[in-house]
Structure 1
Amino acid sequence: MARIKPQTLLQQSKRKKGPARISATTVIFYGLILVLIVFFVFATYRHWSNRSRFRSENHLSVSEGENNFADSKKSDVPGYAVLNTSKGSIVIELYKESAPEVVDEFIDLCQKKHFKGMLFHRVIKHYVIQAGDNQGTDATEDWNLRGKHYKSVKHEAFMLGTSKGKHSNKGFDLFITTAPIPDLNEKLAVFGRVIKGEDVVQEIEEVDTDEHYQPKISIGILDVTLRQKA
C-alpha cells in the first residue's frame, strides 16, 4: 500500500476547510424571494392607503351631499309673496331665516288658498291694517301669548306679522304696520316686510271706518302668489 506524503495531506486539509462557493442559482433564488417580499409589502401599503383615502373622500362626499340637500331644500322655500288685493298688489319679502316656522305655516296656508277672499276687517290709521277672522281679538286689546315665543323683529312701518302662538285655520291673521309700533314687539311675530306696494297699503289705511275701525267698504285679498324672486 502506497504511503501519502505529509505535504499532500496538508494541501487536501486546506482545500476542505476553505469557504464554499455560493452558486449563481442560489443568489438568483434568494434575490427573487427578496423582491417578492418587497413587492408584497408595497402592495399591502398601497391597498390600505387607497382604502383609507377612499373612505375619507366618500365620507366627505356624503357630508357635502347632505349639506347640498339641506341648502337645496332651504332654497326651495319661496322668498316672496304677492298679496293681490282689491286696491292693488303688495309684494312681501318673507323672513325665511329669522322666522322659519311662521313662514312655513304662512306658505302652507297660501297653498291651501286660506287667504283668498279674506277681508281687511280692521284699519287703524298710523297704526296697522289687519286681515283675518273678524271675530278675532281686537287690535287695540292685549294679545295673549301662547305657544312658542318668537324673537320678533322691530316693528317698523310696512312690516308683515301675525299674532304669536299656535293658530287655528281661522286664526292666522295678517297685520301690516303703517308706522313704527315698538309696543307690539311682544305680541306679534314679524315674518316679512313690504318691498313694493306701500302706496296700496296707505290707500287701504286711508279708507273710512266706523267706531270699531272696520272699513265702511269691503277691501279684501283676492289671492296670494308665492315667488322665489321679487
Structure 2
Amino acid sequence: MARIKPQALLQQSKKKKRPSGISVTSILIYALIVVVMVFFLYSSYRHWSRRSQFHMENASLGVEHDNMFGDIEKAVVIPKYAVISTSKGSITVELYDEGSPHVVAEFIDSSKKGRFKGRLFNHVIKNFVIQAGDVDRPGTVEDWTSRGKHYNQLDTSLKHEAFMLGTSKAKQDGSGFHLFITTAPIADLNEKISVFGRVVKGEEVVQEIEEVDSDEHYQPKTPIEIIDVNLKQKI
C-alpha cells in the first residue's frame, strides 16, 4: 500500500476545513426573502396607519352627526304651554300635542305669526263656551245656542270638563283659527270641538269674560281683545 506523504495530508486537511463558496442562487433567494419581509412590514404599517386615521375620521363625523341631530331636536321642540294675554287678564293653557298634534301645530304656527293679536272674543255663552277667532262666524255658534241654555243642568261628572281649549271641527277654508274655551262640562264636546289643551292658570279670567254683558247673538257689548299669545316650555 502506497503511503501518503505528510505534505499531501496537510494539503487535504486544509481543503476540508476551507468553507465552501455561496452560490448565486442562494444569494438571490436570500435577497428575495429580505424584499418580501420589507414589503410585508411596509404593508402592515400602511394598513394600521389607514385604519387609525379611519377611526379618527369616523369619531369626528360621529360628533358632527350627534351635534347636527341635537340641533334638529332643539329646533323641533314643541312648546308645552301658551299664555293668552287678553284685555281681561292672562290665561295659561297646557297644550295636548299627543292627542291633537296637527291642531297644536297649527295653533303654534298661528301664534308665532301673530295671527291672534287684536282678535276679539266674538261670542260668550254663559255656562257653555267663550269663543274668539280670526273672523266672526255666527253660524257655528248659533247652531249651539239653541242647546246652550240647558247646559246649566249638566252633570259635573261628565267626561268633558270646563276650561278645555279647542277649535271648531266645522272649520272652512279662509275661516282662520277659532279658539273655544269651555266654561262648563259639555257632553258632546267631541262632536263640535277638537280639544287640544286645558286651562291651568287664569280660570278666573275665563269666568270674568263669561260674565260680560252680551246681546241676543251672544256677542259681548264691550270688546274683549286678545293682546298676544306667547308660547312657553315651562311656566
Aligned residue in 2 for 1:193: 198
Query: SS in structure 2 opposite 1:138?
Result: helix
The Cα shift of 1:215 comes to 3.6
In the alignment, is residue 205 of structure 1 matched against residue 210 of structure 2? Answer: yes
Amino acid at match of 1:15: K
Looking at structure 2, the residues matched to 181 and 47 of structure 1 have their Cα atoms a distance apart, in angstroms, of: 72
Greater helix fraction, Structure 1 or Structure 2: 2
In the alignment, is residue 171 of structure 1 matched against residue 176 of structure 2? Answer: yes
Aligned residue in 1 for 2:156: none
The 1:140–1:13 alpha-carbon spacing in structure 2 relative to 1, beyond 3 Å, is farther
Aligned residue in 1 for 2:149: none
Amino acid at match of 1:127: F
CA RMSD, 1 decimal? 3.7
Structure 2, gaps ≥5 residues long: 145-158
The 1:109–1:167 alpha-carbon spacing in structure 2 relative to 1, beyond 3 Å, is farther
Give the aligned length: 207
Aligned residue in 2 for 1:146: none
In the alignment, is residue 49 of structure 1 matched against residue 54 of structure 2? Answer: no
Correspondence for 2:62 among 26, 43, 60: 60
Percent sequence identity over matched residues?
42
Looking at structure 2, the residues matched to 180 and 8 of structure 1 have their Cα atoms a distance apart, in angstroms, of: 131
Looking at structure 2, the residues matched to 166 and 60 of structure 1 have their Cα atoms a distance apart, in angstroms, of: 46
The 1:163–1:223 alpha-carbon spacing in structure 2 relative to 1, beyond 3 Å, is same
Amino acid at match of 1:114: R
Asked whether the 8 Å contact 1:103–1:191 carries over to 2, the reply is yes
The Cα shift of 1:48 comes to 2.3
The Cα shift of 1:71 comes to 1.8
The 1:194–1:7 alpha-carbon spacing in structure 2 relative to 1, beyond 3 Å, is same
The 1:68–1:33 alpha-carbon spacing in structure 2 relative to 1, beyond 3 Å, is same
Q: Calculate the TM-score normalised by the size of structure 1.
A: 0.68
In the alignment, is residue 225 of structure 1 matched against residue 226 of structure 2? Answer: no
The Cα shift of 1:166 comes to 6.6
Asked whether the 8 Å contact 2:92–2:199 carries over to 1, the reply is yes
Structure 1, gaps ≥5 residues long: 143-153
Amino acid at match of 1:121: N
Query: SS in structure 2 opposite 1:194?
Result: strand
Asked whether the 8 Å contact 2:120–2:225 carries over to 1, the reply is yes
Asked whether the 8 Å contact 1:87–1:203 carries over to 2, the reply is yes
The Cα shift of 1:198 comes to 0.3
Q: How does 1:54-93 map to 2 (within 5 A)?
A: 54-75=56-77, 78-93=79-94
The Cα shift of 1:167 comes to 5.6
